[in-house]
Amino acid sequence: MIVLLSRHPPKLYINSAPLKQLKSDKEGKIMEKVSSKTQMAKIRSFERGFLATHLINIGNNVGVFEKLNEKKEEGLSVADLATELGIHEPYLKFWCQTAYHFKILDCDDQGRYKLQPFLDEILGDKNHFRNYLANITMTVDLLSILLEEAPEYFKTGKIVETIAEPEPFRIVYETTKNIYLAFLFMIFPKNEHLKKLLDKGIKFLDIGCGNGSLIVQFAKVFQNSQFVGISPEPQGITAAKATISQMGLEERVTVENIGGEKISYKDEFDMISMVVTLHEILPDVRERVVEKAYQALKNGGYIIILEFPYPNNLKDFRNPMYEYAVLDQFYETTIGTVHLNIAEQNEILTQAGFKNIQRMPIGKGMFDFITATK
């Protein structure tokens, strides 16, 4: 999950208002004075975002982005795009015009639409590590269900037991299928000792392995190492076993359908990972899972954790660095998720016995990469 933030230079005058009517924030940027007009614009921007999200999801479902990515040099007219996709041209015309309005598409003098710069990576090529379509699908097809039902759960404090969406786990797994690339190109180059261990050959445990995408990809790259994945979700384990068999990795990759609190390994692994997992573990078993991870590691072994940083004071809830964690906490509240801030993360690791806790920001602060040793 990677988000690109555009930065605009500050203006001395906004809507022709004189400078004395403006105020500055702590970064020195000139901000328009808060008014009914600016507050309405803010709320309206939220509504626009909702509609833009659904527009992107529709375009993804009917294949617009893939087709425009195939023809990104020359572009396509509405008529040609409708013909190639086999969809209703009048509706597609309105979709393209609205996408142009949202600055998702550009259009030349011949009426040929193209993706705006860099959106071929973010929306067009589903194999690119920056592609964000899986997150859009999750927002529309899964989170919308949680949020629609949320008021009733907020009244009672109960936790959602089941989700009506037929394939919730498949949708979630799709958002993290390329996360191994963050390790290969952003994490390991700055932590070469970890990569050297994997190259040499170690035994690696992934707690919360989902559908096994991380350990399968690692097994392809680090062919001297062995990998074990565990997850309490049977759907993911079934998918992982199928992939492992299909790729002929049974001798080096295994998975098991258990939660981390039920690990029985002792002094067996050189490295243990929790990749966007720590916050997902329910609070009543989280300490136990971390203790079991410590138990499963060999002396000197590493635990590596990729996790959202979460604010520990109210002011930081407006810091863009914490955006993903803040929003994740909100929409996962009713399924029992409770994020830990940095101090709480350090405390739970220290109490389990881990030492040498270090952290490194990844993706301009979107993630923290945390390492500790036994």
Residue range 50-81, pLDDT digits in tens = 999 999 999 999 999 999 999 999 999 999 99
Q: Tell me: the pLDDT tens digits for 191-205?
A: 999 999 999 999 999
- The mean pLDDT of 262-288, rounded to a whole number, is 96
pLDDT interval class at 241 (50, 70, 90): very high
Residue with tokens 């068999």: 245
Of 185, 179, 208, 190, the residue nearest 360 (C-alpha): 190
Q: Tell me: the pLDDT tens digits for 7-16?
A: 233 332 233 3
pLDDT at 167 (0 to 100): 62
Reply yes or no on domain 19-124 having CATH 3.40.50.720: no
Note whether 32 and 17 are within 8 A (CB).
Answer: yes
Q: Tell me: the pLDDT tens digits for 121-178?
A: 999 998 888 899 989 998 998 888 889 889 999 999 999 876 655 466 666 777 777 8
Hey, is 112 helix, strand or coil?
coil
pLDDT at 7 (0 to 100): 28
Mean pLDDT for the chain overall: 89
Note whether 373 and 304 are within 8 A (CB).
Answer: no
Note whether 279 and 370 are within 8 A (CB).
Answer: no
Q: Is the dihedral of CA 183, 319, 137, 334 positive or negative?
A: positive
Q: Tell me the CA distances in angstroms from 65 to 69, 84, 112, 122, 178, one per residue in order.
A: 6, 12, 14, 10, 19
- Rounded to whole angstroms, the Cα distance separating 120 from 29 reads 32
Q: Tell me the CA distances in angstroms from 43 to 38, 46, 55, 166, 203, one per residue in order.
A: 9, 5, 19, 33, 51
The CATH classification number of 176-373 equals: 3.40.50.150
Q: Tell me: the pLDDT tens digits for 101-127?
A: 999 999 999 999 999 999 999 999 988
pLDDT at 4 (0 to 100): 31
Element (H, E) at 234: helix 234-246
Q: Tell me: the pLDDT tens digits for 290-319?
A: 999 999 999 999 999 999 999 999 999 999
Angle between helices 234-246 and 168-175 in degrees, nearest 10: 60
Q: What is the DSSP secondary structure assignment for residue 164, as one 8-state letter?
A: S
pLDDT interval class at 5 (50, 70, 90): very low
In the chain, CATH 3.40.50.150 covers 176-373
Residue with tokens 């009914």: 36
> Cβ of 24: how many Cβ atoms within 10 Å?
10
In the chain, CATH 1.10.10.10 covers 19-124
pLDDT at 27 (0 to 100): 47
